[in-house]
């Protein structure tokens, strides 16, 4: 992940992180999986296995929760695409 020095980029990261954290359709577990999987908190990338270990659930449960959350994120897809391409 690139170092965050540009204030505009830093602000963009915080905006997307805030949006994901406050989407009311998500369960907390699903939110956390998306945040870990796609580095929305500016942290390191986590695999399905590492997320499962961290959260005490199976890799398959992580995969299913990720897919469920991604379906709910579809209306936000364009904004997230911009974020993911910039990170």
Domains recognised in the chain with CATH numbers: 27-86 (1.10.10.10)
Averaged pLDDT, 3-30 = 69
Kind and range of the H or E run holding 49: helix 48-55
**pLDDT reported for residue 53:** 96
pLDDT of 1 reads 45
Burial class of residue 85 in the structure, from the number of CB atoms within 10 Å of its CB (0-12 exposed, 13-18 middle, 19+ buried)? exposed
Q: Mind listing the pLDDT tens digit for each residue in 31-87? A: 889 888 888 777 788 999 999 999 999 999 999 999 988 888 777 667 666 666 765
pLDDT of 59 reads 96
Q: What is the pTM of this model?
A: 0.62
- Count the residues in the chain: 87
Taking 60 as the threshold, does the pLDDT of residue 3 lie above it? Answer: no
Residue 65 buriedness (CB in 10 A; 0-12 / 13-18 / 19+): buried
Q: Is 11 exposed, middle or buried (0-12, 13-18, 19+ CB in 10 A)?
A: exposed
């Amino acid at each position: 992940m690139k170092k965050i020095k540009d204030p505009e980029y830093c602000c963009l990261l915080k905006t997307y992180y805030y949006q994901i954290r406050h989407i009311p359709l998500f369960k907390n577990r699903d939110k956390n999986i998306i945040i870990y999987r796609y580095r929305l908190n500016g942290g390191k990338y986590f695999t399905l296995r590492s997320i499962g270990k961290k959260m005490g659930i199976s890799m398959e449960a992580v995969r299913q929760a990720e897919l469920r959350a991604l379906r709910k994120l579809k209306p936000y897809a364009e904004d997230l695409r911009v974020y993911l391409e910039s990170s």
